[in-house]
Structure 1
Amino acid sequence: MTQDIPFALRITAESQAGLDAALGEAVERAIGHALAGRSHGVLVTRHGRDSYTVEVTDEVPFGFTQERDHYTRTPI
């Protein structure tokens, strides 16, 4: 039987310290959800300088955490 474990959090913060803490907490929560289902991994996606999502998905193998960067930087 396949178990669907939907879990996603949107993370934003105004400081680097706040962002680091929020991401760490979100990843720990996501790992807990992934361990419960034993079929999904954790995906951390950066959307902007201070905007991320952390989700449990079957796009990532169980036992792995993967990062994606969708942040488009403008040249100086």
Structure 2
Amino acid sequence: MAPLLSSIDIHVTSRRALDERLEVAVKKLQDLAILTGTHGILVARNKPGHYTAGLSDQVPFGLTREVIR
């Protein structure tokens, strides 16, 4: 998997906080992705409560994918 080009780290202790922070992060990344039109968004669960959302050249533009690491 290629490294994320622009990413946002998310650390949470509740599902509600996760949903809110992921929504904000994905919106910011969508705005950034529109500028290039070449990258999608990858959301990775690194460990419980720790996530990374970022632009990835491994995800087609216009899509968001989730992975568990």
User: Shorter-chain TM-score: which interval?
Assistant: 0.7 to 0.9
Runs of 4 or more, structure 1, over 3 Å off, are none
TM-score by length of 2: 0.86
TM-score by length of 1: 0.79
RMSD (Å), alpha carbons: 0.9
Tell me the equivalent position of 1:23: 22
Q: Distance in 1 between matches of 2:29 and 2:23?
A: 10
State, as a whole percentage, how many aligned pairs show the same letter.
Answer: 34
CA distances 1:31-63 after superposition (whole Å, capped 9, x unpaired): 111111101110000011211000011111111
Q: Highest Rg: 1 or 2?
A: 1
Q: Which runs of 5+ in 1 are unaligned?
A: 1-5, 71-76
Aligned residues: 65
Q: Distance in 1 between matches of 2:32 and 2:6?
A: 7
Matches within 5 A, 1:1-76: 6-70=5-69
Q: Which runs of 5+ in 2 are unaligned?
A: none
